[in-house]
Amino acid sequence: MEIVFSGPDDVRAVLADPRFVPPPPGAAGPVGTMAWLRSAVVRFSHGVEHARRRALVVAELATLDPADLRQAAAKLTAPATAEEAARTVPVAVLASALGVPADRIDAVVTAVAQIAAVYLSPGDPARERVADTAVASLLADLEVLRPESTGRGVGVARISILVQAYVGTGVLIREGRDAGRSPRRCARRRR
């Protein structure tokens, strides 16, 4: 069953309602796997740990200029199909802004798509193995981009930004396009 919430008041109510807290991610796996990623990201954490992880994500986002992101997205969106743009442009723009070299952007977008395919819905062993490889590759790429950043938390924060952009921003773009450029569906809960 799918429940659709629309409007800012509905979204605020969902965010404040403990029934909509994401479930725990399960046991952590080896570093660089999906199980490990789920156990390390802000989305599946709570309390003090959530605040610490969120601060890492916010610090990474604070280094990005929204005007530059808009300009880069406009350039990439023009030649892309609407569906392709919704899925790939947010990730490509953010990856570039985070310092991913141009020749690695496509690989990063592909890795993020593989991670996103199982991020919220684990269970398919074949897709999990593909995503495990993607996590390890992406973690290696994103941890070395900024030498002044240290620790796996920064790499995880960057992966979080990219996966959330793929999942969340892509949905907002599609919903906005499908609703005549006026996003109405803002949050969903599946049962």
Share of the chain above pLDDT 90, in %: 38
How high is the pLDDT of residue 12? 85
pLDDT at 23 exceeding the cut of 50: yes
Tokens standing for 85?
Answer: 């743009």
- Confidence tier at 186 by pLDDT (50, 70, 90): very low
Share of the chain above pLDDT 70, in %: 81
| Tens of pLDDT, residues 47-63 | 898 899 999 999 999 99
pTM of the model: 0.78
Tell me which of 78 and 154 has the higher pLDDT: 154
Q: What is the mean pLDDT of residues 157-180?
A: 78
CA angle at residue 42 from 9 to 71, to 5 degrees?
Answer: 70
Taking the C-alpha atoms of residue 101 and residue 62, their distance in angstroms, rounded to an integer, is 20
Q: Tell me, letter by letter, the H, E, C secondary structure of 59-128.
A: HHHHCCCHHHHHHHHHHHHCCCCHHHHHHHHHHHHHHHHCCCCHHHHHHHHHHHHHHHHHHCCCCCHHHH
The torsion defined by the Cα of 94, 99, 100 and 101, in degrees rounded to 10, comes to 130
Asked if 32 and 139 count as a contact pair (C-beta separation under 8 A), the reply is: yes
- Confidence tier at 134 by pLDDT (50, 70, 90): very high
Asked if 161 and 94 count as a contact pair (C-beta separation under 8 A), the reply is: yes
pLDDT at 155 exceeding the cut of 50: yes
| Tens of pLDDT, residues 57-101 | 999 999 999 999 989 988 887 766 667 777 888 999 999 999 899
pLDDT at 190 exceeding the cut of 50: no
Q: What is the mean pLDDT of residues 139-145?
A: 73
CA angle at residue 63 from 138 to 170, to 5 degrees?
Answer: 55
